[in-house]
Amino acid sequence: MALDGFQYGKTTLGWPFEIRATSSQAYLDHLIHENFLPPEAVRWIDHHWRIANLSDSDPGETVFLKVTQQDKSVVLVRKDGQRAVFQDEAAASSVKAPPREPAWLP
């Protein structure tokens, strides 16, 4: 998404910190408003998802998305697209989120 914004000169697309998103939902709503995502693409997202407040300057290994699943396992997705599954929140907490506050958007 950030790459599309850069390549096509669409300055309204960017990472959460750059567009000043105040929450995970606000970020998703912004992507829908900018026609990057269709509304039906995010209907399945619920309160178990958190988006990190990262920017273009964060390295690719920075965690972007955290999903707590029904079995309490946690999936982390990095900015570069790689993902990892942890047994629980305690194990996942060893992975660093961006340094900006709040690290995880509400």
pLDDT for residue 69: 87
pLDDT for residue 81: 87
Per-residue model confidence as pLDDT tens for the chain (106 residues): 666 666 777 778 889 998 999 998 899 999 999 888 888 877 766 668 889 999 988 998 889 988 888 898 999 999 888 999 999 888 888 887 777 777 889 8
pLDDT for residue 92: 87
Cα 14 from Cα 20, distance rounded (Å): 9
- 53, 100 in Cβ contact below 8 A? yes
The count of other CB atoms within 10 Å of the CB of residue 14 is: 19
What's the full length of the chain, in residues?
Answer: 106
pLDDT for residue 46: 65
Q: Which helix (H) or strand (E) segment is 75 a member of?
A: strand 74-78
- 15, 55 in Cβ contact below 8 A? yes
Cα 93 from Cα 13, distance rounded (Å): 29
What pTM was estimated for this model as a whole? 0.79
